[in-house]
């Protein structure tokens, strides 16, 4: 068996991407302005019983000013086994935040994604809405977001292209009891306005333990539910992942 792995930045995960991106997990906690984020590119070639080829990138960059915040997230994962594409998915998310009031921030975002496992050929989202800060403590933060978004979706099961407006309400809390431990949890609810019975739920929780400067050990659990997925796709999916996170600022 031959196994070669080339890692150019450290942020490793072998799990597939979810249908709903948890933006709360992307926000870098920093009081300083300027650039911060994380980046990784992984290549894997493996030969055992079958030949495996995996390429993945995970890039997160944010730029912060006094009242403005720009977030960019790009993920791509491609898996080929014995010449056949087994998993091919990716997501690009761009978000802008404007701090309107001390406890109110206005958000706007655009997102594009595809996911072969979930039979999503293309999903485009454009949304905006307010985000409310519910606590004053910097180490224990609670937020509520109530956004509206327009969705364009094309599925690989042969169903017609769907378009419509969805709500995107989320509640999140972030806990930083000290400089070592962190805990972040977010739950999303996204109903289709024209059919409330068509909705998605996602809940993600992650715990981090700082190993040393810029490196954090991270454990994440994600559960998603789609009331109307593509044909032959389960309503619920879950993911459990562990990894090492490298950040810069």
Q: Which residues pair with 207 in a beta bridge?
A: 183, 219
Contact, 221 vs 232, CB < 8 A? no
What span, in angstroms and rounded, lies between the C-alpha atoms of 63 and 61? 7
Contacts 24+ apart (CB under 8 A), 49-54: 50/81, 50/82, 51/81, 51/82, 51/83, 52/79, 52/80, 52/81, 53/79, 53/80, 54/78, 54/79, 54/80
How far is the C-alpha of 97 from the C-alpha of 41, rounded, in Å?
27
CA proximity to 201, closest of 215, 213, 186: 186
User: Residue 19's pLDDT is what?
Assistant: 57
Structure tokens at 145: 């977001």
Per-residue pLDDT, 226: 93
- At 149, list the tokens: 């978004």
pLDDT on residue 17: 43
Closest by CA position to 20, among listed 239, 173, 178? 239
**Mean pLDDT, each 10-residue run in order, the chain (249 residues):** 32 44 56 69 58 73 90 83 70 94 95 86 95 92 96 83 92 92 94 94 91 81 90 85 72
Tell me the pTM: 0.77
| Phi, psi (deg, nearest 5) at residue 193 | -60, -35
Tell me if 36 sits within 8 A of 249, measured CB to CB.
yes
Q: Which pLDDT does position 44 carry in this prediction?
A: 61
φ/ψ bin of 82: left (φ > 0), alpha (ψ from -120 to 50), beta (otherwise): left
CATH numbers and ranges of domains, the chain: 2-246 (2.40.160.40)
pLDDT, residue 13, reads 37
Token pair 């599925």: residue: 155
């Amino acid at each position: 068996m031959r196994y070669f792995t080339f890692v150019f930045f450290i942020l490793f995960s072998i799990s597939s991407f979810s249908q709903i991106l948890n933006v709360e997990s992307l926000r870098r906690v920093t009081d300083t302005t300027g650039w911060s984020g994380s980046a990784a590119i992984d290549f894997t070639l493996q030969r055992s019983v079958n030949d495996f080829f995996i390429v993945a990138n995970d890039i997160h960059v944010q730029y912060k000013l006094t009242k403005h915040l720009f977030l960019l997230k790009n993920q791509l994962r491609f898996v080929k086994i014995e010449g056949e594409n087994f998993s091919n998915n990716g997501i690009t998310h761009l978000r802008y935040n404007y701090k309107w009031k001390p406890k109110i921030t206005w958000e706007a975002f655009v997102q594009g994604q595809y996911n072969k496992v979930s039979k999503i050929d293309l999903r485009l989202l454009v949304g905006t809405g307010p985000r409310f800060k519910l606590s004053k403590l910097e180490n224990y933060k609670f937020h509520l977001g109530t956004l509206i978004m327009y969705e364009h979706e094309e599925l690989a099961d042969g169903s017609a292209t769907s378009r419509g407006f969805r709500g995107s309400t989320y509640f999140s809390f972030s806990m930083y009891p000290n400089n070592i431990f962190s805990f972040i949890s977010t739950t999303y609810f996204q109903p289709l306005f024209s059919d409330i019975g068509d909705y998605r739920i996602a809940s993600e929780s992650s715990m981090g333990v700082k190993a040393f400067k810029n490196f954090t050990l991270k454990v994440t659990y994600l559960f998603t539910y789609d009331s109307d997925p593509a044909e032959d796709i389960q309503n619920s999916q879950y993911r459990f992942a562990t990894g090492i996170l490298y950040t810069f600022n």
